[in-house]
Structure 1
Amino acid sequence: MDSADDENLRGQAEIWKYMFRFVDSMALRCVVELRIPDIINSHGGPITLAQIVSSIPEASSPDISCLARIMRFLVRRNIFTAHHPSNGSEDITLYGLTHLSRWLLTCEQTLAPMLLWQTDPTLMTPMHYFSGCVKGGGVPFEKAHGRGMFAFMSENEEFGKACNDAMECTARIILKEILSDSQCGDHVFGCLGSLIDVGGGTGGALSEIVKSYPHIKGINFDLPHVVSKAPVYAGVSHVAGDMFESIPSADAWIMHDWMDEDCVKILKNCRKAVPEKSGKVIIVDVVLDLKGNGLFDDMGLILDLLMAAHSLGGKERTEKEWKKILKEGGFSCYKIIRISTFLSIIEAYPE
C-alpha cells in the first residue's frame, strides 16, 4: 500500500470514529447513571460483573450480557481495567477503576454531574438544528425547545438542578486548581475585602473561595428563582437581582460568557460599582488559542460550539476579543493568568 492509499484509509478510519463518538458519551452516561464507578470503589478493588449487578439499585431483572458489552467497550477506552483472578480462572473477569473513571465517582472532585447534564436529551437535541440555523439563523436550543435555555431552566426544576450541579462540580475543580497554588490564590483573592459572584448559581463556587479566604465578604448574585434554592454557606449572602440592570458594590466579580453586547453591559455595570483604585473584575473563562496544541486547547473550541447551540450570541473568545469588550466596558487594563485547566483567569482593572 502506497502512502496515498494509507492516508486515505486512515482518513476513512478517523471519520468512522468521529461518526460514532456519541457512543462513548452514552456508554459513560450509562455507567454513571448505574453508579458503577462508585460500586467498584466501595468494594475497595476490582470485582466481577455479578458483584456489580448485585449492587445496582432497583435492578430487578438485570441483563448481565448487555453490561458485559458496555464494560468491554469502556475497558478499551481505558475507563475501566479488566483482568482475571490470580487463580487463573479464565471464565471470570474482574473490573477495576482507572485514573479516568475516578473522575466519575460521587466525591468532591468529580465530573459526573457535568457528564449527566451535557448528555441530557435536552442539551443533545439542539445539536440536530445546527444546519438549519446556519441556513436560516436562530439559536438551536430555541428551535428545539421553543424558548431560551434560562427560560427553560426556570420552568423545569429538575433540569435546572442538573445545571446547577454541573456548574458547581466544574467550579470546585477549577477553584481547587487556583486555590492549591497559594501564590495564584493570594494574588487573585488575598487583597479583596468583598467578592460578588455575578451569575453565581447557588453559591457553591463562592463558598470555596470564602473558606480559603475567610476575611472576604461573599455575595452570591443571581436571578430570584436561582438564589431562592441556594443553601446556606458560612460567609456568603445570597442576593437576588438582574446583572443587566445593576450590580451591588464590591471589590471584584467572577463573570462568565454572554454575547459581546451583553458582556459590555455587565462590565459597564461592574465599572459603576467597582472601587476606583482597589477594585477589579475577575473573569474565569476560556481564552482561545486557535493554534494551540495543549492538553485542553480543543476544549475551548468544543465549548464554543456548545455556546452556539445553547445561547444567543454566547461564545468563547480569543485574547484579542476579550481585550475589545473589556475596553468597551471600561476596563482598558487586564492580565491573563493561565491555569492547568481549560479556563483562564482574566483580571481587569478600571482605566
Structure 2
Amino acid sequence: MTNLNGGDNDAVLRGQAQILQYIYGVLDGLALRCCVELGIADIINHHRSPTTLAEIINGINSPSINVDGLERLMRFLVRRKIFEDNSTRIKDEEKENVYYSLNHCSKWLLRDAHMTLAPLIIMRTNPIIMTPAHLLSHSIKHGGSTFKMNHGEEFFDFCQLNSEFNKVFNEGMACTAKITTNAIMLSYKNEFDELKGSIVDVGGGIGVLVAEIVKAYPHLKGINFDLQHVISTAPTYDGVTHIAGDMFKAIPCAETIFMTVKL
C-alpha cells in the first residue's frame, strides 16, 4: 500500500512517530529533573513500601502544591517506566488507590544514595547548558561556539566565573565518576594490586575516582589534577593530594597516569 506521494504508508507513519518521539523527548529529561527537585524517589524510598499520592504530597510538604500537576507527573513517569504503579481497587468505595514504588530505574534518582544519577540530571537539564542548543543552526551557518554566543564565555571560563554553576557541573561529573570507578575497579582489580607509588588522575574533577582507588588500594598515593576552579571545590580525601594546573601544559609526575574520557 502506498500513499499519495508514492511512499509506503507504514514506513511514513513510523517515520512520523520517530520524529514526534524526538520532539517530545525533551520532556522526559525535564520530568526527571522535576522528580529529582521534588525528591519523589527519596520520599517513596523512605516509606520502604508502595506509597500513595497523598503520602508523596506530605513528603513534598508545600502549602500550595498543585495536586493535579503532581498526579499528571506521576502518570507520565509510570508510563515511562520510571516508577511502578501498584493500584488496588477498594470495592466498597468503588475507587482506585494508586501505590507508587521504585524500580531499577527510579533507584538511580535517589539523591541520598551513594550511586545516583540525580546530580547528572540536574546538571544536564540546567538552562545554562540547554539554552545554547537553540543557537546550533546559527553556529553551523556562521561558525563559533553556541555556549559562548549565549553566555559570552567559553564553557570552562564560564564555570570559573560562576561558582554556583561550577558546583552543579562538578557534582554532575562526580556522580558519573563513582559509577565509572566501580566498573573500572571490578574489571581491573589485579592491575591495581600491581601498581606502586603514586597515581595521578588527569582531569579528575573533584577527585572522586582517585579517592575511591586509594581507599581500596591504600598502598597507592593519589593525585587529583584539574583546573584551579575545579580543585577549589574539591573535598579532602585521605591519601589524595589536589593539584591545580593545565594538562595541556604539564602533568604532575607519578608512576601511573590515569585519565577517563566521558563521551
Matched, 1:60 2:63: yes
Match of 2:164 in 1: 158
Say whether the 8 Å CA contact 1:190–1:213 is kept in structure 2: no
Match of 1:73 in 2: 76
Of 163, 168, 174, the match for 2:174 = 168
SS in 1 for 2:116: coil
User: Hey, what's the Cα distance between the residues in 2 that align with 1:112 and 1:94?
Assistant: 23
Say whether the 8 Å CA contact 1:84–1:90 is kept in structure 2: no
SS in 2 for 1:231: coil
- The 1:244/1:92 distance shift into structure 2, 3 A limit, reads same
Match of 1:118 in 2: 124
Match of 2:104 in 1: 99
115-124 vs 191-200, which deviates more? 191-200
User: Hey, what's the Cα distance between the residues in 2 that align with 1:10 and 1:189?
Assistant: 52
Match of 2:152 in 1: 146
Q: CA deviation at 1:14?
A: 1.2
SS in 2 for 1:84: strand
SS in 1 for 2:8: helix
146-155 vs 89-98, which deviates more? 89-98
Map 1:13-52 → 2, pairs under 5 A? 13-52=17-56
Match of 1:83 in 2: 86
Matched, 1:179 2:179: no
Q: CA deviation at 1:24?
A: 0.6
User: Hey, what's the Cα distance between the residues in 2 that align with 1:67 and 1:217?
Assistant: 49
Matched, 1:227 2:218: no
Q: CA deviation at 1:189?
A: 6.3
Match of 1:285 in 2: 261
Say whether the 8 Å CA contact 2:89–2:97 is kept in structure 1: no
- The 1:248/1:152 distance shift into structure 2, 3 A limit, reads same
SS in 2 for 1:93: strand
User: Hey, what's the Cα distance between the residues in 2 that align with 1:131 and 1:190?
Assistant: 50
Please, which runs of 5 or more residues in structure 1 have no aligned partner?
256-283, 287-302, 304-351
SS in 2 for 1:248: coil
- The 1:112/1:189 distance shift into structure 2, 3 A limit, reads farther
Match of 2:251 in 1: 247
Letter in 2 for 1:125: T
Letter in 1 for 2:261: D
Say whether the 8 Å CA contact 2:90–2:97 is kept in structure 1: no
Q: CA deviation at 1:66?
A: 0.5
Of 186, 211, 236, the match for 1:207 = 211
SS in 1 for 2:171: helix
Q: Provide TM-score, normalisation by structure 1.
A: 0.69
User: Hey, what's the Cα distance between the residues in 2 that align with 1:86 and 1:125?
Assistant: 44
Letter in 2 for 1:235: G
User: Hey, what's the Cα distance between the residues in 2 that align with 1:13 and 1:134?
Assistant: 27
Say whether the 8 Å CA contact 1:37–1:104 is kept in structure 2: yes
Say whether the 8 Å CA contact 2:131–2:150 is kept in structure 1: yes
- The 1:65/1:126 distance shift into structure 2, 3 A limit, reads same
Please, which runs of 5 or more residues in structure 2 have no aligned partner?
none
SS in 2 for 1:162: helix
Say whether the 8 Å CA contact 2:89–2:96 is kept in structure 1: no
User: Hey, what's the Cα distance between the residues in 1 that align with 2:232 and 2:84?
Assistant: 43
Number of aligned residues: 256
Q: CA deviation at 1:86?
A: 6.6
Letter in 2 for 1:78: K
Letter in 2 for 1:232: T
Say whether the 8 Å CA contact 2:198–2:222 is kept in structure 1: yes
User: Hey, what's the Cα distance between the residues in 1 that align with 2:139 and 2:165?
Assistant: 24
Match of 1:259 in 2: none
Using the aligned pairs only, state the percent identity.
46
User: Hey, what's the Cα distance between the residues in 1 that align with 2:89 and 2:210?
Assistant: 48
Q: Provide TM-score, normalisation by structure 2.
A: 0.92
Runs of 4+ in 1 over 6 A off after TM superposition: none
Match of 1:217 in 2: 221
